[in-house]
């Protein structure tokens, strides 16, 4: 077959250099960004940043953001935005807290109920967007305020006036599901590695890093599953098609409505998972939880190569986008720079990513 292709090959097409091929991958920008940021901190930051405990330090916030970012990326590829995910974290956190503390539910009931409620709210978002034909930007902007407000009102209602709900850690203590959503995993592995002298340990022999924080494992699993779905399943093809041109997709038999509603459910559920993980971790929840996370998630997706117009992007990109985020937020504390440079950096990064993506898109579509 290859000789056949060669025989017919077009003389005007040069063999594509590896670099050009690489340039066409949506996640290239984010990987390049990770390399640049790593080099930057290698030079400027304290060397402890890149020890195992340092890495865990910046991977934890990266993971919390990344779970949202990957979901946001999938929705963006599908051609929509969800600005309500940050508020959804607060709202789902409040609901989960009330279930666990006030109602006294075990996690095996509280977690599925919280996730189901979030998914239902996500589906409602999707339904409104599809029914009204309004931009999802506006519909979910309304959701941003509604859910944030509802979280605040709910907290005050159930705590008798406080904006913080405490006692969650005590309530879930000893629950068999708790280790999946909180704490560190693979502790035995770390202890073993410490004994073998491969990882750093305290004088007592306890490893400095007691285990891998569970959110990092969730983050990696999310990225892997999302990538598999996008690239290797019919549903992935439907998501790209829906975002690329929903009318053309519809005419070709893609269930566009179902795809969009499922994606809205995904972003809301991802927000609820982040809420559950962070709330158990902190032992309390408050109304400011997830503040601004909707924008950070979208920025991570954009740094990861998602186009604002939909139809193009990758979950792996958002994965690295979130890591850049984590490295910069935490990394600045290892340097002599003022931490508040963070936002300046973020804005610059976003602008750069959008310009870069635009160039890539032109290359892919062959526009000149």
Residues in contact with another protein by the rule CB under 8 A: 4-5, 8-10, 13, 16, 228, 231-234, 236-238, 240-241, 244-245, 247-249, 251-254, 307, 311-312, 361, 364-367
Write down how long the chain is: 368
H-run or E-run covering 164: strand 164-165
C-beta closer to another protein: residue 11 or 173: 11
Interacting residues of 183 by C-beta distance below 8 A, sequence separation 6+: 211, 213, 214, 281
Instruction: Locate 140 and state its tokens.
Output: 């979910």
Kindly tell me which of 312 and 320 has the beta carbon lying closer to another protein.
312
Closer to another protein at the Cβ: 193 or 364? Answer: 364
CA angle 115, 118, 123 (to 5 degrees): 120
Minimum distance from residue 228 beta carbon to another protein (Å): 8
DSSP assignment of 268-336, as one string?
HHHHHHHHHHHHHHHS-EETTTTTTHHHHHHHHHHHTT--TTSS---HHHHHHHHHHHHHHHHHGGGSS
Smallest separation (angstroms) from another protein to the CB of 249:
7
Choice between 205 and 234, CB closer to another protein:
234
Smallest distance, another protein to C-beta of residue 122, A = 22
| Encoded tokens for 357 | 């993506």
Please say whether the beta carbons of 79 and 137 come within 8 A. Answer: no
**Distance separating alpha carbons of residues 221 and 223, to the nearest angstrom:** 5
Nearer to another protein, 58 or 312 (CB): 312
Q: How far is the CB of 366 from another protein (least distance, A)?
A: 3
Nearest distance in Å: CB 231, another protein = 8
- Residue 221's nearest CA partner among 33, 66, 34 is 66
140 vs 242 by CB, closer to another protein: 242
Shortest distance in whole angstroms from residue 236 CB to another protein: 7
């Amino acid at each position: 077959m290859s000789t056949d292709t060669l025989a017919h090959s077009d003389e005007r097409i040069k063999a594509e250099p590896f670099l050009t091929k690489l340039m066409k991958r949506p996640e290239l920008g984010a990987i390049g960004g990770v390399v640049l940021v790593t080099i930057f901190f290698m030079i400027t930051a304290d060397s402890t940043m890149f020890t195992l405990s340092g890495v865990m330090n910046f991977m934890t916030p990266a993971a919390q953001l990344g779970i949202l970012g990957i979901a946001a990326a999938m929705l963006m590829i599908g051609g929509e935005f969800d600005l309500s995910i940050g508020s959804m974290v607060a709202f789902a956190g409040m609901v989960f807290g009330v279930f666990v503390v006030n109602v006294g539910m075990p996690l095996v009931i509280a977690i599925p109920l919280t996730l189901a409620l979030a998914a239902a709210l996500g589906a409602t978002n999707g339904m409104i967007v599809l029914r009204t034909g309004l931009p999802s930007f506006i519909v979910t902007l309304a959701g941003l305020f509604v859910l944030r407000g509802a979280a605040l009102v709910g907290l005050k209602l159930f705590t008798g006036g406080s904006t913080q709900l405490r006692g969650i850690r005590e309530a879930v203590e000893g629950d068999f599901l708790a280790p999946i959503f909180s704490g560190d995993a693979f502790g035995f592995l770390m202890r073993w590695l410490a004994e073998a002298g491969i990882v750093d340990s305290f004088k007592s022999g306890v490893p400095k890093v007691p285990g891998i924080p569970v959110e990092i494992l969730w983050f990696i699993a999310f990225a892997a599953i999302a990538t598999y779905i996008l690239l290797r399943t019919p549903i992935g093809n439907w998501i790209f098609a829906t975002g690329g041109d929903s009318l053309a997709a519809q005419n070709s038999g893609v269930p566009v409505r179902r795809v969009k509603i499922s994606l809205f459910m995904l972003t809301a559920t991802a927000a609820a998972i982040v809420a559950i993980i962070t709330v158990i971790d902190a032992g309390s929840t408050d109304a400011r939880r997830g503040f601004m996370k909707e924008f950070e998630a979208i920025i991570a997706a954009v740094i990861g190569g998602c186009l604002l117009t939909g139809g193009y992007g990758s979950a792996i990109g958002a994965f690295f986008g979130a890591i850049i985020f984590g490295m910069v937020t935490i990394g600045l504390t290892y340097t002599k720079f003022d931490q508040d440079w963070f936002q300046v950096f973020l804005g610059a990064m976003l602008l750069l990513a959008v310009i870069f993506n635009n160039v890539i898109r032109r290359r892919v579509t062959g526009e000149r």
